[in-house]
């Protein structure tokens, strides 16, 4: 058992392959007299039922939430086939959480009631006013196809409370994604977390994607399944493959990462990443797509300068980070892993900035569901006027 942390958070990771050994590792690193909450991210390769039971056993009455990932961000930088976690001291953080066990039935009234409960729970610690001193984190089933509906309801209910999150993943299998809450892993579900603290923080989102000149119109789509059957009145896979100079048979995750598409709203572009090619030459997407929308062909710009600039700006405002919770799109990581030098430098930045997080199937930022971003919250070591 550790001594109580001096700064309010303790980070941990486990490379063990067996569920009980993972729980033992994390408990040994995290448990202290003032531990109030644990957030974790784990590989989907674990026996999730056994892992859920072991975590419940070793952490007793401490609340834990988490999700499966497509890669972990650990205290040492990028990791794989492991568990990364952070424990919060209840004297510095008042944290409340709730499970949405049926995303397909979740509406505005449900969101309002859920947020009211979270606010009441956070106020019980009397750490800081809710307004200006709270942020929300959501972890959603990344294969539910319900992220936009849930986020729209939660965004309205949160009001001025800044919000970010990520969609649970499963190590690129695209089969089973899970969130963890109330002692076990759940599919088709979401976890909502409200964090109240007197420490300064900032919720952020960044990407290195830049627009090209080519435009594609969605002329036939199945909104429910996020499947685009036709672009510019031709089979979607044929048009997309021709755009990037390959055959439909050559399309894969790395090409999707290098050649994203995006919707323009005002002066901003929001990436709609391709998930896979289907047998009928349609394209499945990670975000919502609809008939009639115009997609802009995008390209990737320099990633490292973008990441450096983000953290320089955050540190100028907050000082050296106490903790950064990050949701990093798994397509970004695929791109990064294509260059060993970029991989090493990115991992070093994440380690230096004290990032704990995961590679996600989609990110959430103030009610928006987006792709190919690095989204999260940076928490400073000093208190002040609250975050934004």
| Long-range contacts formed by 25-31: CB under 8 A, 24+ apart | 25/83, 26/55, 26/58, 26/59, 26/83, 26/85, 27/58, 27/59, 28/1, 28/2, 29/2, 29/85, 30/2, 30/85, 30/87, 31/1, 31/2, 31/59, 31/62, 31/87
Q: Looking at the chain, which residues constitute the CATH 2.40.30 domain(s)?
A: 209-300
In angstroms, the CA 333 to CA 257 distance is 9
SS3 call for 46 = coil
In angstroms, the CA 13 to CA 315 distance is 25
> Which CATH number is associated with domain 209-300?
2.40.30
Question: Whose CA is closest to 130, among 122, 141, 139, 138?
Answer: 122
Could you list the pLDDT tens digit for every one of the 388 residues in the chain?
444 565 799 999 999 999 999 999 999 999 999 999 999 999 999 999 999 999 999 998 899 999 999 999 999 999 999 999 999 999 999 999 999 998 988 999 999 999 999 999 999 888 999 999 999 999 999 888 788 899 999 999 999 999 999 999 998 888 999 999 999 999 999 999 999 999 999 999 999 999 999 999 999 999 888 999 999 999 999 999 999 999 999 999 999 999 999 999 888 888 889 999 999 999 999 988 899 999 999 999 999 999 999 999 999 999 999 999 999 999 999 999 999 999 999 999 999 999 999 999 999 999 988 999 999 999 998 876 555 5
In angstroms, the CA 216 to CA 260 distance is 12
- pLDDT tens for 307-358 read 999 999 999 999 999 999 999 999 999 999 999 999 999 999 999 999 999 9
């Amino acid at each position: 058992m550790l001594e109580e942390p001096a700064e309010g958070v303790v980070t941990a990771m486990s490379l063990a392959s067996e569920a009980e050994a993972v729980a033992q590792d994390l408990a040994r690193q995290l448990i202290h007299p003032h531990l109030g909450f644990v957030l974790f991210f784990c590989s989907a390769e674990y026996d999730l039922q056994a892992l859920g039971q072991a975590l419940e056993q070793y952490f007793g009455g401490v609340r834990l939430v988490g999700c499966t990932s497509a890669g972990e961000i650990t205290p040492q930088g990028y990791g794989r086939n492991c568990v990364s976690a952070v424990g919060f001291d209840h004297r510095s953080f008042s944290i409340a959480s709730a499970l949405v066990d049926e995303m397909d039935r979740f509406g505005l009234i449900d969101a309002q009631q859920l947020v009211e409960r979270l606010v009441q729970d956070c106020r019980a610690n009397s750490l800081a006013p809710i307004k200006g001193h709270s942020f929300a984190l959501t972890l959603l089933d990344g294969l539910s196809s319900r992220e936009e509906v849930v986020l729209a309801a939660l965004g309205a209910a949160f009001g001025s409370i800044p919000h970010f999150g990520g969609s649970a993943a499963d190590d690129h299998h695209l089969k089973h994604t899970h969130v963890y809450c109330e002692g076990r892993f759940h599919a088709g579900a979401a976890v909502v977390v409200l964090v109240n603290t007197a420490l300064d923080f900032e919720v952020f989102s960044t990407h290195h994607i830049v627009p090209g000149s080519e435009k594609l119109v969605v002329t036939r789509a199945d909104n429910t399944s996020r499947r685009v059957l036709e672009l510019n009145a031709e089979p979607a896979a044929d048009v997309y493959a021709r755009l990037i100079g390959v055959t439909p048979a050559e399309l894969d995750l790395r090409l999707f990462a290098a050649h994203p598409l995006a919707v323009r709203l005002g002066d901003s572009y929001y990436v709609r990443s391709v998930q896979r090619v289907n047998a009928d030459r349609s394209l499945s997407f990670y975000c919502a797509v609809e008939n009639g929308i115009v997609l802009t062909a995008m390209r990737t710009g320099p990633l490292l300068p973008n990441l450096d600039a983000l953290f320089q700006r955050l540190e100028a405002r907050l000082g050296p980070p106490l903790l950064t919770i990050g949701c990093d799109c798994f397509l970004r990581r695929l791109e990064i892993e294509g260059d060993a030098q970029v991989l090493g430098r990115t991992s070093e930045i994440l380690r230096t900035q004290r990032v704990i997080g995961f590679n996600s199937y989609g990110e959430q930022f103030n009610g928006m569901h987006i792709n190919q971003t690095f989204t999260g919250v940076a928490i400073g070591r000093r208190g002040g006027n609250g975050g934004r």
